[in-house]
Structure 1
Amino acid sequence: MDVLVVGDANPDLVLRGDVRPRFGQAEQLLTGADLVLGGSAAITAAGCARLGLDTALLTALGPDIFGTITRQRLAERDVRLLLAPTAPEVPTGLSVILTPDDDDRAILTLPGTIPALRPHDVTDDHLAATRHLHVAALYLQPGLAAGLAEVFTRARAAGVTTSLDTNWDPTGRWESITDILAVTDIFLPNANELRAVTGASDVDTAAAGLVATGTTVVMKNGAAGARAWTSDGDFSAPGRQVAVVDTTGAGDSFNAGFLAGMLSGLPLRDALHWAATAGSLSTRAAGGTAAQPTRADLGG
Structure 2
Amino acid sequence: MEKMYDVLVVGELNVDLILDEIEKFPEVGKEVLAQRMTLTLGSSSAIFASNISSLGARVAFIGKIGKDKFGEVVLESLQKNKVDISMIKVDDSLGTGATVILNVDEDRANTTYPGAMDYLTIDDIGDDELKKARHLHFSSYFLQPGMWGSLGDLFRKAKANGLTTSFDMQWDPKETWKLDVADVLPHVDVFLPNETELKLLTGKNTMDEAIEAVKEYANILVIKRGNKGSVVFCEGQLVEMPAFLNKNVVDAIGAGDSFNAGFIYKFIQGKEIAECQKFGNLTGAVSTTAAGGTTAFEDYERFKQTAKKQFGVD
TM-score bucket (shorter structure):
over 0.9
- Unaligned stretches of 5+ in structure 2? none
Among 142, 146, 149, which residue is 2:145 paired with? 142
Identity of aligned residues (%): 37
Q: Could you tell me how far 1:249 is from its partner in structure 2?
A: 0.6
Among 73, 76, 81, which residue is 2:80 paired with? 76
Q: Distance in 2 between matches of 1:194 and 1:278?
A: 21
Q: Is 1:276 aligned to 2:281, yes or no?
A: yes
Aligned counterpart, 1:286: 291
Aligned-residue RMSD, C-alpha: 1.9
Q: Is 1:212 aligned to 2:226, yes or no?
A: no
Aligned counterpart, 1:110: 113
Q: Distance in 2 between matches of 1:28 and 1:196?
A: 31
- Scaled by the length of structure 1, the TM-score of the pair is 0.93
Amino acid paired to 1:36: T
Q: Is 1:10 aligned to 2:14, yes or no?
A: yes
Q: Distance in 1 between matches of 2:82 and 2:90?
A: 23
Q: Distance in 2 between matches of 1:160 and 1:252?
A: 20
Amino acid paired to 1:78: K
Amino acid paired to 2:139: A
- Scaled by the length of structure 2, the TM-score of the pair is 0.89
Aligned counterpart, 1:247: 252
Compared CA separation, residues 29 and 213, structure 1 to 2 (3 A): closer
Q: Distance in 1 between matches of 2:227 and 2:251?
A: 13
Q: Distance in 1 between matches of 2:68 and 2:7?
A: 27
CA contact (8 A) 2:61 2:88 kept: no
Does the residue aligned with 1:135 lie in a helix, a strand or coil?
Answer: strand
Does the residue aligned with 1:120 lie in a helix, a strand or coil?
Answer: helix
Question: What CA deviation, in whole Å up to 9, does each residue of 1:116-164 have, x standing for no partner?
Answer: 1101212101211111100001000121132111111111112111111
Does the residue aligned with 1:105 lie in a helix, a strand or coil?
Answer: strand
Q: How many residues align?
A: 298
Amino acid paired to 1:250: A
Q: Could you tell me how far 1:22 is from its partner in structure 2?
A: 4.6
Within 5 Å, which residues of 2 pair with 1:51-62?
A: 51-62=55-66
CA contact (8 A) 1:84 1:117 kept: no
Aligned counterpart, 1:35: 39
Q: Distance in 2 between matches of 1:84 and 1:49?
A: 16
Does the residue aligned with 1:291 lie in a helix, a strand or coil?
Answer: helix
Q: Distance in 2 between matches of 1:274 and 1:180?
A: 26
Question: What CA deviation, in whole Å up to 9, does each residue of 1:54-104 have, x standing for no partner?
Answer: 01111111000000111111111111114454642211000000012x222
Q: Could you tell me how far 1:4 is from its partner in structure 2?
A: 0.6
Q: Distance in 2 between matches of 1:105 and 1:239?
A: 20
Q: Distance in 2 between matches of 1:176 and 1:6?
A: 17
Aligned counterpart, 2:202: 198
Compared CA separation, residues 291 and 84, structure 1 to 2 (3 A): closer
Compared CA separation, residues 116 and 193, structure 1 to 2 (3 A): same
Within 5 Å, which residues of 2 pair with 1:92-241?
A: 92-100=96-104, 102-178=105-181, 179-241=183-245
Deviates more, 1:184-193 or 1:76-85: 76-85
CA contact (8 A) 2:263 2:280 kept: yes
Compared CA separation, residues 208 and 90, structure 1 to 2 (3 A): same
Q: Could you tell me how far 1:214 is from its partner in structure 2?
A: 4.4
Q: Could you tell me how far 1:202 is from its partner in structure 2?
A: 2.1
Q: Distance in 2 between matches of 1:248 and 1:133?
A: 23
Amino acid paired to 1:175: K
Q: Could you tell me how far 1:213 is from its partner in structure 2?
A: 2.5
Deviates more, 1:5-14 or 1:206-215: 206-215
Amino acid paired to 1:52: G
Question: What CA deviation, in whole Å up to 9, does each residue of 1:203-240 have, x standing for no partner?
Answer: 22322343322421101111011110011411122221
Q: Could you tell me how far 1:108 is from its partner in structure 2?
A: 0.6
